[in-house]
Amino acid sequence: MKVLIVLAHPEPHGFNAAMAETARATLTKAGHDVTVSDLYALGFEPRSSRANFSDRADPDYFKPQIEEMHASGTGGFAADVEREIVRLEACDLMIWQFPLWWFGVPAILKGWVDRVFVMGRVYGGPKIYAGGLKAGAKAVLSLTTGGPAGAYVPGGFNGDLMGVLRPIHRGMLQFVGFDVLAPQVVYGPARMSPEDRTMALDAWATRLIGIADEGAIEVGSY
């Protein structure tokens, strides 16, 4: 199985990095082909602009989707975008590792989607949802929160976590064809003891051993 781990956290010694490394090491040991896109380490540019492209469909007016369609047909993506598209195209399993910031993904990860989920090559026309490029592949969100578990339940302080994640599950991952697996959530690691953090990493490693056999969760439409 080809695995793509996309890590979006600026601290290389933090818990999100440890979760990403646990996934890399566990899946590699199990015989899978694992690639890690550490967005901060790569210095990935999150802003979508003309710099996404090495060629121009219209040099006078910038419409991203027109440029994406043109570049999809001509091979005209910038090198950093092309590298990430190739990684996306190849993966059988994609893991996003990130902290939940402002009820969403960090800006650098959202920018990765903006620049890499390109019209023409990744989606467009009938190539969405069940007919999407990544139909048959799986995706899982592995995330940390600042608040405790009880804050992310129906009626809780922050509301149902699955409701918070739905725009990501449905509007990004399912949109391009992925089967969405249950999220891996570690609540408030900054307030956990070292022993509890180790247990959380071990639980993630245990799950990953059998993740290829997991089925999709019900996300639902809007």
pLDDT tens per residue across span 13-38: 999 999 999 999 999 999 999 999 99
Topology annotation, domain 2-213: Rossmann fold (3.40.50)
In this prediction, residues 49-53 reach a mean pLDDT of 96
98 pLDDT exceeds 80?
yes
Q: What is the pLDDT of residue 222?
A: 44
In this prediction, residues 106-125 reach a mean pLDDT of 97
Q: What is the pLDDT of residue 172?
A: 97
182 pLDDT exceeds 80?
yes
pLDDT tens per residue across span 63-86: 999 999 999 999 999 999 999 999
Decide which of 220 and 197 is more confident. 197
Q: Given the structure tokens 């804050």, which residue do they identify?
A: 151
Categorize the per-residue pLDDT at 221 as very low, low, confident or very high, splitting at 50, 70 and 90: low
Share of the chain above pLDDT 70, in %: 99
Helix axes 79-90, 107-116, angle to 10 degrees: 90
In this prediction, residues 112-123 reach a mean pLDDT of 97
Is the distance from CB of 3 to CB of 33 less than 8 angstroms?
yes
Beta-carbon contacts of residue 37 (< 8 Å; ≥ 6 apart): 4, 5, 6, 7, 44, 84, 87, 112
Least confident of 148-162, 187-201, 205-219: 148-162
| Cα–Cα distance list, 81 to 64, 97, 127 (Å) | 13, 19, 20
Average pLDDT, the chain: 95
* 166: enclosing H helix or E strand: helix 161-168
**The two structure tokens encoding residue 76:** 């005209």
* 36: enclosing H helix or E strand: strand 33-38
Domain limits of the chain? 2-213
In this prediction, residues 151-164 reach a mean pLDDT of 90
205 pLDDT exceeds 70?
yes
Give 115's Cβ-side CA count (13 Å radius).
26
